[in-house]
Amino acid sequence: MTSSIVICGATATGKSGLAIALAQRLQSIILSADSRQVYREFDIGTAKPTAAQQQLIPHYLIDICDPTETLTVAEYQQQAQTLISSPPSSRRSTATSLHSSPPLLVGGTGLYIKSIVRGMKIPRVAPQPELRSQLASLGQQQLYTMLQQVDAIAAQKIHPNDPVRTLRALEVFYVTGRPISEQQGENPPTYPILQIGLDSDSAILKRRIEQRTEEMLAIGWEKEVKALCQKYSSDLPLLDTLGYREMKQYLQGDLTLTEAKELIVLHTRQFAKRQRTWFRAYPEIEWFDADSLDLFDRVWRAVKEFTHE
């Protein structure tokens, strides 16, 4: 029977390490739930599993897009659902063991995880650059008025000063001819899901983030960002995301390396706080102390209970 295990939580709480240890014990696979690890070449700054780790355990939903492409949540959901319902076989394990062991959905992108565990209904409408450009030129006030006329239900849920969601709602309406509110909702999966959350004391998490930032720099993050800027230009949207933005500013001479590191740590802590707030809203998540000495044993007990071993 299909089932899955989620390992979620804020950045730098040790999700990947725990997932690899669990996957080895279960003889299972790992599905990444990280919105930046899907992109090729963005490796160090996204804390992507190393080549050695990916050799150890089969990882999926990593490196599936070029940096110039955009992977929608709907596309991610479709690929993840396929992998969960029919895990691929592996040379390192028998197909039978992989099919009988629940795949591990691992990461900190709340929307990716929600799309799976809640079965979000997502309109299959790809971004329409020309339509968005035409709509954006009208200004947010007029766009919101238009949304109120074509989809009053969506307008009630969207703040008048939220251009991203306003544009998306109008985009879906004009492409499909149906309000986005009619195409949304949830269709939760019928299979069982164990959701494990990792949390860390804020002071300890700060040290974890500082240490990881130093490690990223030590293994060549600066070189990675420099190569990406040269290959794709510094205007690439992905280079304006957490960590890469500050490193780009350092390479452009706008920040010293010390200033860049301090900002990366600060912004990562702020991001972690938002992640914690997101995940704390889901009562079905079973929380564990990421810094507990017997973390694996505690989690393994929960997994054995879930899998009835």
Residue 309 pLDDT > 70, yes or no?
Answer: no
Overall average pLDDT of the 49-60 stretch: 95
Give the residue extent of every domain in the chain: 4-121+186-200+283-307, 129-183, 202-275
Q: Which CATH class is domain 4-121+186-200+283-307?
A: alpha beta
The per-residue pLDDT for range 275-303, each reduced to its tens digit, is 999 999 999 999 999 999 999 999 999 99
| Residue ranges with strand state E in the chain | 4-9, 30-32, 59-60, 104-106, 193-199, 286-289
Q: Tell me what the pLDDT averaged over the chain comes to.
A: 94
What pLDDT score was predicted for residue 126? 83
Overall average pLDDT of the 45-65 stretch: 96
To the question of domain 129-183 being in CATH 3.40.50.720, the answer is: no
Query: What is each CA distance from 135 to 23, 52, 69, 182, in whole angstroms?
Result: 47, 47, 22, 21
What pLDDT score was predicted for residue 97? 45
- In the chain, the percentage of residues whose pLDDT exceeds 70 is 95
Burial (CB count <10 Å: 0-12, 13-18, 19+), residue 297: exposed
The per-residue pLDDT for range 242-253, each reduced to its tens digit, is 999 999 999 999
What pLDDT score was predicted for residue 88? 76
Overall average pLDDT of the 71-100 stretch: 74
Q: How far apart are CA 51 and CA 54, in angstroms?
A: 5
Q: How far apart are CA 44 and CA 47, in angstroms?
A: 5
The per-residue pLDDT for range 141-178, each reduced to its tens digit, is 999 999 999 999 999 999 999 999 999 999 999 999 99
Q: How far apart are CA 6 and CA 197, in angstroms?
A: 8
| Confidence class for position 94, pLDDT limits 50, 70, 90 | very low
Sign of CA dihedral 162, 72, 64, 13: positive
For the beta carbon of residue 212, count every other beta carbon within 10 angstroms.
16
Q: How far apart are CA 146 and CA 142, in angstroms?
A: 6
In this structure, which topology does domain 202-275 adopt according to CATH? Helix Hairpins (1.10.287)
Query: What is each CA distance from 211 to 204, 242, 269, 294, in whole angstroms?
Result: 11, 16, 13, 22
| Confidence class for position 86, pLDDT limits 50, 70, 90 | confident
